[in-house]
Amino acid sequence: MQTKLKFLGAAGNVTGSRHLLQANGTRLLIDCGLYQERHLKQRNWEPFPVEPAGINAVLLTHAHLDHCGFLPKLVKEGFAGKIYCTAATAEIAKIILLDSAKIQQEDAKYKRKRHEKQNRKGPYPEVPLYTTEDAEACFPLFSDVQYRETVQLGDGVEATLYDAGHVLGSSIIRVKVRQNGRERIILFSGDIGRPDRPIVCDPTVFDTADYVLIESTYGDRVHKPTKDIQQEIAKVINSTKKAGGNIIVPSFALERSQEVLYHINELLLENAIPHLMVFLDSPMASRITKVFQHHSELFDKEMSELVRRHESPFKLPGLKMTGTADESKAINHIKGTVMVIAGSGMCTGGRIKHHLVNNITRPQSTIMFVGYQATGTLGRRIVNGEKRVRILGQEYPVKAKVMRINGFSAHADKNELLDWLKELKSPPRQVFVVHGETESARHFGDFVSEKTGWHVTVPDYQDEVALN
């Protein structure tokens, strides 16, 4: 029987990462992500293209929703094997899945109400894709694997996880298949980080592989140099402090929030900013930060050194992690400049909204964006310089300063992705470009074949290839 690879997601698009590998009668699903693009969300509702009960194991590269967010549905539909990933990925994935279940439930409730009122039916059922109980049903299946530890998954099939440097616990998965007396190595890049980012280590490189699946989120772009992040943040803090306003930071809970804290800590250690109170006002970000704290073995050299000197960014003197909604609202009564880091990262929901309500009309305050703002989101409208925006059902004039700090990306750009590939000492038999919008994936595919002469393919959804 041939070894086969089937692309069940993140093929010609970014989200819904799911790759099925079949070898020697073993079926492995590498990543089990949720589709998040509006026009592809219906795939979350369709029956899974292969029988979930027939999948032997899931291997997770990392805990982002577009890589793990479909797990509760897969388990609900019959998957009962193990879910292999690093301990940090498992802990963060559990937090993220519970949050996702809550959102699914709230969305379904909201839709039901709206449709009842309008007396119509929507394109999807008005039930949650999965519930909290469905998410919890996955938890016993998680099985921790350490970096560089090899797991036997079936007859002649084994996998090893290596640090991908993308978010805490993220992995590149190397699968080795022995068949008819020969060996094939298949590398699943997951999302690849960038060299010299704070907290996490640099991505692992490899010198041999027969097949490579590589992400291409930024396969058509080159990031701006990142040297100035800290300086730019210092400028925002100092000028806002002088003006007497607050600094409001919409941020993603995983990695970005912790990176912002890292930079604040560095600036305080260098005396580049005055002492200030920093509120991490996101229960999810606070929970994830705790996972960071007890996985200090995954930190890079600089971060480990900070922890050793008792100067961890997660223990900086003015930091408060707020719990209840009342604690969150109490922040508004504090006089003097404070920084509030809250979700959601694109201002589409969560506590950031009431902080925006309290600060967006104040010329003294600054809204500091540290992440990508998708089209159609409140964050995008503010970044685009709209003069009036609607928040929580009411319209407000935008009078606060709006700043955008570039260079925070957790994904390698096209040159960094190519550099990562070029560590291979001999050409792989084939490279598959996944996890990028069609344009980006095609552009990167052409770029790689032009620069290396290798055999590169950009697969489509449900394509299946034999790995000889």
Provide the binding-site residues for Zn ion, judged by CB under 5 A. 64, 191
Fill in the amino acid letter for 364: Q
Residues 385, 391, 397: CA angle, nearest 5 degrees: 45
Distance of CA 307 to the CA centre of its chain: 24
Shorter beta-carbon distance to Zn ion: residue 199 or 338: 199
Provide the minimum distance between the beta carbon of 151 and Zn ion in the complex, in angstroms, as a whole number: 22
Whose tokens are 């930079």? That residue is 263
Shorter beta-carbon distance to Zn ion: residue 64 or 401: 64
Written as six digits, the tokens of 35 are 């589709």
Shorter beta-carbon distance to Zn ion: residue 191 or 266: 191
Provide the minimum distance between the beta carbon of 89 and Zn ion in the complex, in angstroms, as a whole number: 11
Shorter beta-carbon distance to Zn ion: residue 153 or 370: 370
Provide the minimum distance between the beta carbon of 255 and Zn ion in the complex, in angstroms, as a whole number: 9
Shorter beta-carbon distance to Zn ion: residue 134 or 255: 255
Provide the minimum distance between the beta carbon of 31 and Zn ion in the complex, in angstroms, as a whole number: 10
Shorter beta-carbon distance to Zn ion: residue 3 or 89: 89
- The pairs formed by 97-100 with CB atoms below 8 angstroms and a separation of 24 or more are 97/68, 97/69, 97/71, 97/72, 97/135, 97/138, 98/132, 98/135, 98/136, 99/284, 100/34, 100/65, 100/69, 100/72, 100/130, 100/135
Q: With beta carbons less than 8 A apart as the criterion, state whether 233 and 368 touch.
A: yes
Provide the minimum distance between the beta carbon of 29 and Zn ion in the complex, in angstroms, as a whole number: 17
Provide the minimum distance between the beta carbon of 68 and Zn ion in the complex, in angstroms, as a whole number: 10
Residues 6+ apart with CB under 8 A from 143: 82, 83, 84
Task: Spell out a b/e string for 143-152, using b for 16 or more CB atoms within 10 Å of the CB, else e.
Answer: eebebeeebe
Distances, alpha carbon 422 to alpha carbons 172, 212, 219, 453, in Å: 16, 12, 15, 11
Shorter beta-carbon distance to Zn ion: residue 191 or 413: 191
Provide the minimum distance between the beta carbon of 67 and Zn ion in the complex, in angstroms, as a whole number: 6
